[in-house]
């Protein structure tokens, strides 16, 4: 963006493209944008370096690497006959008191 302003390409700033700008003003604008860029880079350094896990970006896609331990736990839970009465009980409570 700084280079665009120095070249007097103001497409990102429509009002600026409608007025006559002195070279000194353009240098001031470019310097101000550079300062803002550096300030944002410093303030949000932790966000810029954070690793966003793929399942957060696309939660409904299949995982790239299946987690076998998790799959086994889910399978065990889904077939656990001892848990079935508890789940049925929770469902009946929820139907009677939907606000819970």
> Are 44 and 67 within one domain?
no
Does residue 58 fall inside a structural domain? Answer: no
- For residue 5, with 0-12 CB atoms within 10 Å meaning exposed, 13-18 middle and 19 or more buried, which class applies? buried
Per-residue model confidence as pLDDT tens digits over 42-58:
999 888 888 888 777 77
> Are 44 and 71 within one domain?
no
Q: What residues make up the domain containing 78?
A: 63-96
Residue 94 pLDDT: 67
Task: Please say if the pLDDT value at position 41 is more than 70.
Answer: yes
Does residue 12 fall inside a structural domain? Answer: yes
Does residue 87 fall inside a structural domain? Answer: yes
Number of domains in the chain: 2
Average per-residue pLDDT for the chain: 80
Note the maximum CA span of the chain: 79
Q: Output the pTM of the full model.
A: 0.43
How many whole angstroms separate alpha carbon 81 and alpha carbon 79? 6
> Are 38 and 71 within one domain?
no
Residue 61 pLDDT: 75
Per-residue model confidence as pLDDT tens digits over 5-35:
778 887 887 887 788 888 898 889 889 989 9
């Amino acid at each position: 963006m700084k280079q665009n302003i120095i070249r007097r390409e103001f497409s990102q700033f429509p009002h600026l493209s409608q007025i006559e700008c002195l070279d000194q003003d353009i240098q001031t604008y470019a310097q101000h944008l550079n300062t803002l860029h550096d300030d944002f880079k410093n303030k949000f350094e932790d966000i810029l370096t954070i690793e966003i896990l793929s399942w957060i970006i696309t939660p409904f896609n299949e995982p790239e690497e299946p987690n076998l331990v998790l799959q086994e736990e889910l399978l065990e839970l889904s077939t656990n006959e001892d848990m079935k009465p508890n789940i049925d009980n929770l469902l009946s409570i929820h139907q009677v008191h939907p606000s819970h």
